[in-house]
Structure 1
């Protein structure tokens, strides 16, 4: 009988509930959980494809020492002895953990306990430092605690949603669906997007403010000055519940409206319209994400936003408040257990001597870190200069994701001892490990995660652990015991969660925001059945929907919120040699460094190779052709990408996705270009305002291939590989023409004397097309030309799974496009149902003139909804063309 398991998605901070079903043959499928209060059954394209990512291809199945298979005892003994040696010779600050928002709370808890309470160093930080550390710092400055005040329900109750530095439609699509549904039921609801580029989220907004990079402090300081003289200013609230308003206002008033216009790049009329809308709408939620946080002034941006909500008393009430949208599935859980180098467990402050004493007594630990440890960028600088002698990296890929990534790779490769716990063997970081430990992956993990609205949900295992894989908490607990430490005899994640809950309530009494003491006595059975709940859940109190600060009480010593005086100082990173502003971020269907999503064919069907968004006018001046290759570079590094020319990108700017790495492309690790500039308060690096030069990447020859198996070795100045349903697709750029393409294909793709070979050569145009067949099965089709190859790529991909029974059918493959008797679906628009642009255009011609009509006919846009904006754009374009 098929079995169903309720679990939680491992992608973004929305924290969607998932129902995983395993059939009688062991095959898994997923669907949204209609009973989960985060998503009510909705899933995005990534969540919908989860079942396609849980194969064993590339998995680490056994411990390895220096690349050779080992047993657990030898591997763990080596890890414990190397860490003990480093500590004995160089002190506890000579070792470090770099963990991840992909860890479950129980993993995070054990790592934090081991490092801070037993090793005695705070050198544990997380890749969440790269996504939400500025929010943490801003919350702590304003509220006295790292508290997200609101709930997802507020997004549906608000009359104005301000999305600042957030491409919600692609990065948090399920929340975007909830907002769009609310707007459909209440058309008077307004949405404003604030972003340097016109993302797809802007297409759904009533107003889009194309702000200059890092112009946010100026914008919200200007708003504060405006609000102070308006009817929206709540003097009673400010007097009763806050401190510091006059200083914050004085700093804001140093800039005139014309100054704000100059610093933001927005017209005075745009500013006044936005300020007036914010002033006259009581129920306002300001959602912010990486465009705010990933900045050298990120903390000030956060506080500039919070200042405006405090000035109007719009916080802690239904449909009102600042709302930090976390990037990772368990960034919040990591914050709860002290996963950041400058935090202590249970939202306590490591600088607080009483808090350190409290935690040490609770853990009965031999020592306690007395000061903040090294934040992510500082940590890898310490690895580079030799201060860190032993490094343990868990569930993350810093060689791809950290700024100045080439230097980070060099630092890790030179570190005396490196441990990597991961599920995949071929990541850029795993390749550098002295000891590689097989971790549990999604579907095998068991524990909890916390989403952006403080909701704790269970991740349950529905698959057996493959090979010798073990949960991350087990790795660390076993090493702790081998280092001679007591207090790590955990049998299961329920025991760890109960301890975490007990610590949250220990000597709390309402003085700290994070308290789930009601779960301190939870049994394994009750833990297994535990439903999603929001914190706080104090002992003796019932569960319920919670908003913080409704009573005007905060977690500062006097219980009053703090206005923070911030100055609007844009950090211009451009120069004569690097005149363009590089902005990095996510795309719709990929996640972080593609370790998981790169396995799902449909997630690569929408955007299959790394690209650079450039304004067409800039491209014309630089001599960059549509779909040509470009080189983006600065003094830190260089990448080669496909040019995507679009008016969505303002002049002088370039957008590059963060996902591609050396496993999927020749040279597309964009983090290699990112300077290690950090916010001085939060330590979060600036990943969205980098000076770069852009120029054509001159290639003598181009190629495109579809192949039935992944090639072992790809050698070309440019290549990008993506999985398809029946094989792989590969784009190439060559610095010289290929002399013997048949021989090159056989060597590159390992065909040698295998396969029937067919070829088409056009000498005048220098185009060549080669096919290799095993009977009616296509093994490889390779298309080459002096310019980017004109081939119907999605059609060519489908030929890998199409029986080619006749010689005529095999020759047709060389044409690179379907015959008149076949439909070319065109480039994929809807990844969930594999619907292409030509299918949508055909449906429009047949009378489907709304997104809903397209959905009824083709299913496109009816699942995650992320493609609905693109579908509407196609419909509008077709109808305009028909009217001309």
Structure 2
């Protein structure tokens, strides 16, 4: 089958993909973002293309409807709300998963036709602090550098970024650069030891939110050691005495680092001209996120280390089109083409270009405030697009209630069931990745095409078409587009306004390009790929700004909850949750806790821990987190777990400049969850979470579930059938009153349909083996043994998802002489596909105290 060049739908790296309708996925060797590399998620995209669980027709009030009725209803209810309560009574909440063309028409409708800026996006949760920091320093939201700078740097500083798991292809690029040039140094700054730390020459385990103190200290050190570039400052930066004075008032010891460690880092940074500082959500998702961004930029401006090969501050985005959304004004405080919503001339020029009837005159409601407005009744009609705020927003249960409180709500989505979809009045079926066509912009400003290679299922439609159809029904001209190519051409031509007002974004050379054949193209088109090489910035005087920054007061909560992603899952798992390959690595919510805290709380490995209002997580005891802190992943929803939903625990606030919530700063209490019993089940049927602790995941033969309850069931067979969703067939049950263990096998037509294991302590069973028995003709009693036969060694928990290689297999290979990551790969294949597991392979070898190769 013909391969189609497209772009990955996951993180902001923007990897090129060769995709086939039969589900074959390969990295595109010619795409400059990845040169053929893919991470585990990208490699497994072929497993996520089925239409199981898809929303295939519009629904009104939970019942199937036709498109005419659904679109008429949306247009009528939005029009009525605007007529009765004004344009600010309606709102749109979008997503970094939307294509640029979708984003553009949504913003055009809201800001230029309805006349309100009440359109925000889940990128507010991702990169808003970077946007604010860029605008303060540079005058516009400009990412200065390019991925090539990672190849050319002599020092790469990773701040608040678990690159190995969250941007694996960039991590592999840095690893390759370090292997080619061993003199390259890597510093990892993170309150938690992560997989990324394995690559670092120096790991700075700073206290949470002490980044400003750290980089203020660096700025003071640069001044004191005369490492600043006075000529650059005099010619290209506004006088920065206040910034230096504020930096001197900070105490770097607030980071918790020793003076020796601080001095080591400061001397390394000061003495290495070609330095790139890469940062991500650990910087952005904070009440001081914007200040953290500017603290980093201050140091680069003070030394002139910006705009040149191998140097500069570099924000890596979390979503596939967070950058494209920013370009078209996707946030509530922005306009398209990087124009400023507060500037009357910018608004007038954009309105004239759109020939629109109304134009927003002030910033709209940012995400947190938007859902507060839903809760207090100010929003009368809400349209959510391609995102799941009832899970992803802080204090998610309150957000779900806020959505339900809005008189009229609509969701455009691929899936029939999501936590947010359960709250709305109208569901509109949207086309998904592989089915629709458009563009995305990655972290280095590279515009790439997403191309369709699959038919659109059922009655689903592309988002741009849905938006334009509603706009037309509301009586608005200006939305009569034949397809995404027309939208892109209008948008690209519109960016002339950015240059007209002295801004950075200019896509006009692409306005007349062959859209279908458009290659990956970095802007500014046809110019140097790096901004600020000439020392010209986008403030009115052409100079950058150094910002005076105060160190925030640090709190000492009972526990501070740090949240983030895991290697093989994406956001709320509506796509990655379909893949058995990706579910094999970490299949349930967990909380990482320091051994000293575990001792105080009386929890052992595999126990359960209740946080905050009772969200329950599996205990993972590790010294990778500092005492007094916890880490838990963000991916589970009510569709996949009854508990372990981290954003159900309120965050502590928002950044006052960017409005970005502090998703990594919740203060929580923690107690041991005293379960009456623990269970593990595998089944051919799709299970649903029902018990107090209950998490489900795909396997290669069906589904698996981890669960726990308060009281011992009276009837274990009935419990097994309820959990496994198999009500028919015969059952074989083994119960041992002495140990409290119970095992149930359900056999249908002579084959194993489900297995259930329960005990009064966390269940010990070979989970991979149990899952492999589903559909087999193994006898029930043999299946209940819970372990492999003597001639079939237990591979152990999965480490390499791509090749399903378990930890016991790796240990055996290492013990037999595979004493490097490279050799482990030769023997077991682990790490030889996407490479995402290489840090874990290296850590395993290190724990076994075996010599490790340089890579």
Q: TM-score, normalised by structure 2?
A: 0.98
1:768 to 733, 736, 742: 742
Instruction: Note the residue ranges of structure 2 that are not aligned, 5 or more in a row.
Output: none
1:696 to 672, 675, 697: 672
Residue aligning to 1:260:
252
Cα shift readout 1:300-352 (whole Å, capped 9, x = no counterpart) = 11000000000000000000000001100000000000000000000000001
2:431 pairs with 1:457 = no
Question: C-alpha distance in 2, partners of 1:417/1:215?
Answer: 43
Q: Is the 8 A contact 2:685 2:725 kept in 1?
A: no
1:592 to 567, 571, 590: 571
2:218 pairs with 1:218 = no
Question: C-alpha distance in 2, partners of 1:94/1:330?
Answer: 27
Cα shift readout 1:828-875 (whole Å, capped 9, x = no counterpart) = 000011111111112112221111111112110011111111112222
Q: How does 1:179-190 map to 2 (within 5 A)?
A: 179-190=174-185
Q: Is the 8 A contact 1:164 1:286 kept in 2?
A: yes
Question: C-alpha distance in 2, partners of 1:751/1:593?
Answer: 27
2:119 pairs with 1:124 = yes
Shift of 1:675: 2.7
Q: Is the 8 A contact 1:425 1:431 kept in 2?
A: no
Cα shift readout 1:52-84 (whole Å, capped 9, x = no counterpart) = 111111100001101111111100000000000
Q: How does 1:228-377 map to 2 (within 5 A)?
A: 228-255=223-250, 259-261=251-253, 263-377=254-368
Q: Is the 8 A contact 2:689 2:695 kept in 1?
A: no
Residue aligning to 2:502:
511
Question: C-alpha distance in 2, partners of 1:109/1:486?
Answer: 15
Question: C-alpha distance in 1, partners of 2:286/2:689?
Answer: 36
Residue aligning to 1:871:
841
Residue aligning to 2:523:
535
Residue aligning to 1:156:
151
Shift of 1:571: 4.1
Question: C-alpha distance in 1, partners of 2:658/2:39?
Answer: 31
Shift of 1:15: 0.2
Question: C-alpha distance in 2, partners of 1:417/1:246?
Answer: 52
Question: C-alpha distance in 2, partners of 1:546/1:312?
Answer: 21
Residue aligning to 2:142:
147
1:744 to 715, 719, 723: 719
Question: C-alpha distance in 2, partners of 1:341/1:510?
Answer: 20
2:85 to 76, 86, 90: 90
Residue aligning to 1:778:
752
Q: Is the 8 A contact 1:662 1:668 kept in 2?
A: no
Residue aligning to 2:594:
615
Shift of 1:676: 5.9
Cα shift readout 1:351-398 (whole Å, capped 9, x = no counterpart) = 011100110000000110000000000000000000000000000000
Q: Is the 8 A contact 2:820 2:851 kept in 1?
A: no
Shift of 1:458: 0.1
Residue aligning to 1:540:
none
Shift of 1:775: 3.9
Q: Is the 8 A contact 2:238 2:545 kept in 1?
A: yes
Q: How does 1:168-187 map to 2 (within 5 A)?
A: 168-187=163-182
Question: C-alpha distance in 1, partners of 2:731/2:235?
Answer: 82
Question: C-alpha distance in 2, partners of 1:866/1:751?
Answer: 36
Shift of 1:429: 0.3
Question: C-alpha distance in 2, partners of 1:822/1:488?
Answer: 63
Question: C-alpha distance in 2, partners of 1:301/1:846?
Answer: 47
2:802 to 832, 837, 847: 832
2:478 pairs with 1:499 = no
Question: C-alpha distance in 1, partners of 2:768/2:724?
Answer: 21
2:695 to 692, 696, 720: 720
Q: 1:789 to 1:551 in 2, by over 3 A?
A: same
Q: Is the 8 A contact 1:721 1:729 kept in 2?
A: yes
Residue aligning to 1:554:
537
Question: C-alpha distance in 2, partners of 1:717/1:877?
Answer: 35
Q: Is the 8 A contact 1:773 1:780 kept in 2?
A: yes
Cα shift readout 1:406-461 (whole Å, capped 9, x = no counterpart) = 11011111210000000011110011121100001000020000000000000000
Instruction: Note the residue ranges of structure 1 that are not aligned, 5 or more in a row.
Output: 538-542
Question: C-alpha distance in 2, partners of 1:227/1:190?
Answer: 19
Question: C-alpha distance in 1, partners of 2:725/2:456?
Answer: 33
Question: C-alpha distance in 1, partners of 2:235/2:722?
Answer: 76
Q: 1:567 to 1:726 in 2, by over 3 A?
A: same
1:625 to 604, 611, 626: 604
Shift of 1:616: 1.1
2:39 pairs with 1:41 = no
Number of residues of Structure 1 aligned to a counterpart in Structure 2? 852
Shift of 1:762: 1.1
Q: Is the 8 A contact 2:160 2:190 kept in 1?
A: yes
Question: C-alpha distance in 2, partners of 1:838/1:614?
Answer: 24
Residue aligning to 2:704:
729
2:418 pairs with 1:433 = no
Question: C-alpha distance in 2, partners of 1:189/1:787?
Answer: 48
Question: C-alpha distance in 1, partners of 2:297/2:169?
Answer: 25
Q: Is the 8 A contact 2:651 2:665 kept in 1?
A: no
Residue aligning to 1:197:
192
Shift of 1:509: 4.5
Shift of 1:232: 2.2
Residue aligning to 2:828:
858
Shift of 1:150: 0.3
Cα shift readout 1:166-202 (whole Å, capped 9, x = no counterpart) = 0000000000000000000100100001001101111
Cα shift readout 1:592-626 (whole Å, capped 9, x = no counterpart) = 11111111111110100000000011101110111
Question: C-alpha distance in 1, partners of 2:424/2:684?
Answer: 31
Q: Is the 8 A contact 2:93 2:383 kept in 1?
A: yes
Shift of 1:748: 4.0
Question: C-alpha distance in 2, partners of 1:20/1:567?
Answer: 49
Residue aligning to 1:707:
683
Match of 1:528, SS?
A: coil
Cα shift readout 1:11-31 (whole Å, capped 9, x = no counterpart) = 000000000012xxxx22111
Q: How does 1:461-476 map to 2 (within 5 A)?
A: 461-476=452-467
Match of 1:275, SS?
A: helix
Q: Is the 8 A contact 1:288 1:325 kept in 2?
A: yes
2:560 to 565, 581, 590: 581
User: Which of structure 1's runs of 4+ aligned residues deviate more than 4 A?
Assistant: 879-882
